[in-house]
Structure 1
Amino acid sequence: MVSNIKKAIILTAGYGTRMLPATKSSPKEMLHVVDKPIIHYIVEEAVASGIEEIIFVTSNNKRPLEDYFDRNRDLEAQLRTSGKLELLAEIRGISEMATFAYLRQGEQRGPGDALKVALPFVGKGEAVAVMFGDDIVDSEVPALRQLIDVYAQYSAPVIAAKKVDRTVMPSKGMIVGHNIDDKIIRVESIIEKPALEDVVSDIAAQSRMILTPEVLQLVREMEPMGNNELYHTDALAKYLEQGGVLQALDFEGDWYDCGNKLGLIEAQIGLGLKDPTIADALREYLGKV
């Protein structure tokens, strides 16, 4: 019987260079979409999926992220004094969403290295959720919950996947496999950042996954490649070479890559149109441009 997933590792150590100069003094995860930072949506998704413990892997410019999920007693006192009790409850609730821990990635050496930083805090027989901190999925059933359900069904690791444009394929982990139903792909191989001429699929791994103890052990054993970086997809590729079973889920929902300017603007519009306080005015404005 598979274990229930209660712990998530959220990778937030990147510099956010695609969003400079906005990210020069503010972490990319703290850029706002409508009225909340990107990372708030991701944590909401995790909690709605049953996650109770969240480990953030950060870097030395991410203190605002830590402050956001901590209590702000001065602000709480001000809201209480001014009678803004509903807003007070909302602000207090942020620090109570889950149990939070923060670990520093000392050097930027890729997502695989960031994941390794958190593994001493994961039990040897424990499967965990892994999420990246710069994208939002808007869906009726939380995207991470969809992955957890597939993991429970097949007792095997599962990664989120979506079709991508050819222009971005050299920056993605590209998947080769075959469908076992309308939404689930049995992965045969995965290649990180392939040359365009080597791409034989339009399905890319996305930023949510459930990793089992077998895969996590391979992450622990990984060594840097020629570019001195580690990629979690290399551990998945080795797992497949050893005969492991890996599923990819074409998840339901609207996916916004907020790590680039277009994706962030798309998220502002898509989620803004669902906010009853601004939806009509936003729709009217969009009709004029």
Structure 2
Amino acid sequence: MAMGCTLWSSWMARVVYMADIAPVLKAVVPAAGLGTRFLPATKATPKEMLPIVDKPAIQYVVEEAVDAGLSDVLMVTGRSKRSIEDHFDRAYELEEALRAKGDDERLEAVHESSDLAIMHYVRQGEPRGLGHAVHCARQHVGREPFAVLLGDDMIDARDKLLQRMIEVRGQYGGSVIALMEVEPDQVSAYGCAAIEATDEEDVVRISDLVEKPAAEEAPSNWIIIGRYVCDPAVFDVLEKTPPGRGGEIQLTDALRALADMPADQGGGVYGVKFRGRRYDTGNKLEYLRTVVQFAAERPDLAPEFLPWLREFVRTQDGVGDTTDS
């Protein structure tokens, strides 16, 4: 009888908690990294401002948040990142110049970035890891759940990953991370998840998280990619999370702790398996691929760009090939 009461109480506690799940309304975009992989280009230009054709990478990330219904966006920036703020602000002199020329198309593009979302900014005083960057958002976020979108990890908004993650948060509570399957030899470059099946094919329960494990020690081939929906309980956990490798506070460590916490304390971590289009613009080769792919999909560019690209590839056949003939 006592066991029955315990089970009933536990079930009721979860029902009450689920009924009180707050909607996700805010997005946090960490963008304080130094961008050393792209030096010297990023010496004075934030890596997040590198263009994908004619729009900076960071704008695609903000557009994804807005498409998911999150119009309140907090950027966590650092020194020399002022151009990010300028990009999402009004540029009156430029607007007047375009208006005077009658250049309505470019004027609309300029307005698009400044009218995109309600933007806020906070500085991460020193680079102490993703967990520390997320903790910098505490005052703005308060006790609300929130999404985290990494500034150099682009997800095609047409695949609606963030919307799905917000739905899963509404169904299960807790925190939700995005997962992508990779080859075993790639696991060591990412955070990796130990997963348990649920009744939904694309949703798993997270039992453990490991940051950059050796391939033979990885619990699965499902890696964490740069989208999270966090319960506000993560802030208290981050405060108690000790620095890890390189003296950085890792968000992965905090989520690992949340996975073991009860639901009525904001615990539980779930994963959404993502099989859509992702672009790692923090990597030179992937950045180049992203620019080419986006240009190839543009109706205004593709008719001229694709024939040129095919001819270029044809004439480059064998260039750089060091294999013996």
Q: Is residue 2:260 matched to residue 1:260?
A: no
CA separation of 1:282 and 1:165: change in aligned 2, threshold 3 A: farther
Separation in 1 of the partners of 2:278 and 2:27? 19
Ranges of 4+ aligned residues in structure 1 off by more than 6 Å: none
SS in 1 for 2:95: helix
Separation in 2 of the partners of 1:281 and 1:168? 36
TM-score (norm: length of structure 2): 0.84
Which structure has the highest helix share of the two? 2
Q: Which letter maps to 2:228?
A: M
Separation in 2 of the partners of 1:139 and 1:148? 14
SS in 1 for 2:158: coil
Deviation at 1:211, TM superposition (A): 0.2
Deviation at 1:245, TM superposition (A): 2.1
Q: Give the aligned length.
A: 288
Q: Which moved more, 1:173-182 or 1:10-19?
A: 173-182
1:43 aligns with 62
SS in 1 for 2:308: helix
Separation in 1 of the partners of 2:140 and 2:55? 29
Separation in 2 of the partners of 1:252 and 1:6? 25
Give deviations 1:207-234, integer Å, cap 9, x for gaps. 0110012223212332323632100110
Q: Is residue 2:267 matched to residue 1:233?
A: no
Same amino acid, percent of matched pairs? 36
1:4 aligns with 23
Q: Is residue 2:268 matched to residue 1:245?
A: yes
Deviation at 1:200, TM superposition (A): 2.9
Deviation at 1:139, TM superposition (A): 4.2
Give deviations 1:127-175, integer Å, cap 9, x for gaps. 0001110021114243211211111122231111101244442231101
List aligned pairs for 1:119-130, cutoff 5 A. 119-124=138-143, 126-130=144-148
Larger Rg, first or second structure (1 or 2): 2
Separation in 2 of the partners of 1:78 and 1:231? 46
**What residue ranges of structure 1 are gaps of 5+ in the alignment?**
none
Deviation at 1:253, TM superposition (A): 2.4
Q: Which moved more, 1:3-12 or 1:19-28?
A: 19-28
Separation in 1 of the partners of 2:43 and 2:89? 22
Q: Which letter maps to 1:263?
A: E
SS in 2 for 1:227: helix
TM-score (norm: length of structure 1): 0.94
Deviation at 1:89, TM superposition (A): 2.6
2:168 aligns with 150
SS in 1 for 2:69: coil
> Taking CA–CA contacts closer than 8 Å with sequence separation of 6 or more, which of the two structures ends up with the larger relative contact order?
1
Separation in 2 of the partners of 1:159 and 1:77? 43
Separation in 2 of the partners of 1:285 and 1:143? 33
SS in 1 for 2:148: strand
